[in-house]
Amino acid sequence: MTLGFLSRPEPRVALPGTEAWEAAVRAPRVGNGVLFGALALLTALIVGLDVLSGQDLRLVPLLVVVPAFVSVFGTISQTVGVACFVMAVTVGSRLVAGGTFWDVASSVVFTFLACLLGVGACVLRIRHATEIARLRSAAVALQRQILRPLPIPTDQITAHGTYTPIEEDHLVGGDIYEVVQSPYGTRVIIGDVQGKGLPAIGAGFAVLGAFREAAIREPSLTGVVDRLEDAVVRQNAFSAQTGETERFVTALVLGFDGDGRAQAVNCGHLPPRLVHEGVAVPVPLRRTSVPLGMAELSNEGRTAERLDLPPGATLLMFTDGVTEARDPEGHFYPLDTRLSRWARLAPRELLDALEHDLEEFSGGVRRDDVAVLALRRVPVPTGTPAPSEPVGHGATRPAEALSGR
């Protein structure tokens, strides 16, 4: 039995390292030419108004707010440069205007402190942003290390896929997937944890750990799902003790044996799509049960329904980061319409087309993780007898085959 655990990962978009995150935080958002050009125009305007207003109304001291404004978006060096410029202009203007020693000294001290506060605010902002970037990079890197690289070949199928985590610290999601070769065939899971943030990642890891063990130990697919339910219940009990929110997990669990047939247990997850012979259709799963962690709310036990994956067909499994992607006008991504355009592509090319189209459709703005698996049966070696089928069922259409009709 070939485990296929070690496989060469397909090239994906590289995840920025910690150094790249920190460099992005410290990078200037406004060029020096634009910044100091605007500062010169503002200074000229205020000085001109100050001259016109005479001695009764002094406007030049208003420049002390400029370093604080620049500290919101500028770099430390830019903020220091602006502070020095403002210091020179305001102090010079005060010296020209004259006055007592204490008047001039108080003006100089006030300007210096205001500029110093602006620089300090910029330093604290960048330090905080750097810490957030490190945490964000660590969370995303942890997700990528726990989730195995794709493709994953097994004795029954080859699983191609793509995984794109959201990289905003408060939006980090809990999308999961796994493919395990077991003594009972290949077991596959794709799931989505309710909620965002690091607690969602923790719940996802609990499900992954339980699946990796149960997929090898449990003879039945429903037995595997029962172990996943137990894992989510235990995780929720621990979360309740620590003050965290209890969560549920939507999941689609598949099992493939050697005869080309499959079983599916759908725990509140999105139904997969079958792409075959130029047609892309939703796979109707009629026995959808409640998500993992919510079994106590249902009186019906989870059951598996049998499916067929025809030779050459691609079964597409995905999370709601695909179907709930939106364009700038707020329209949802039309997955089925798009898939019909790529129905004759190989799994890898189909995934590339989907990933590129999602990026264009959303304008590069993503609100959730995106996980997609494209499963295809391993070709049967030449000379191997095909599994017997009842008379009249040899020409079943793809959609009917996968629906079990």
Q: CB–CB of 401/308 below 8 Å?
A: yes
- Look at residue 162 and give its three-state secondary structure: strand
Dist CA 326 CA 380 (whole Å): 41
Position of tokens 């892309």? 280
Q: CB–CB of 247/200 below 8 Å?
A: yes
Query: What is residue 347's predicted lDDT score, i.e. its pLDDT?
Result: 94
* Cα atoms found within 13 Å of the Cα of residue 336, Cβ hemisphere only: 8
Dist CA 172 CA 143 (whole Å): 10
Q: CB–CB of 85/91 below 8 Å?
A: no
Q: Determine the distance from the C-alpha atom of residue 315 to the mean position of all C-alpha atoms in its chain, rounded to a whole number.
A: 22
pTM of the model: 0.66
For the chain, residues with pLDDT lower than 50 are: 1-17, 169-170, 384, 386-405
Query: What is residue 137's predicted lDDT score, i.e. its pLDDT?
Result: 66
**By C-alpha distance, which of 207, 144, 145, 149 is closest to 4?**
149
Which phi and psi (to 5°) does residue 72 adopt? -70, -35
E-state strands within 214-259: 249-256
Percentage above 90 pLDDT, the chain:
40
Which phi and psi (to 5°) does residue 55 adopt? -80, -15
DSSP code per residue over 254-273? EEE-TTSEEEEEEEBPPP-E
Going by the DSSP 8-state scheme, the letter that residue 60 receives in this structure is G
Name the burial class of residue 358, with classes exposed (0-12), middle (13-18) and buried (19+) by CB atoms within 10 angstroms of its CB: buried
Give the tokens for residue 56: 């009764």
Dist CA 405 CA 208 (whole Å): 32
Query: What is residue 212's predicted lDDT score, i.e. its pLDDT?
Result: 95
**Sheet harboring 279-282: ordered strands across?**
152-153, 157-164, 370-377, 314-318, 273-276, 279-282
Which phi and psi (to 5°) does residue 154 adopt? -130, -175
Gyration radius from the chain CA atoms: 30
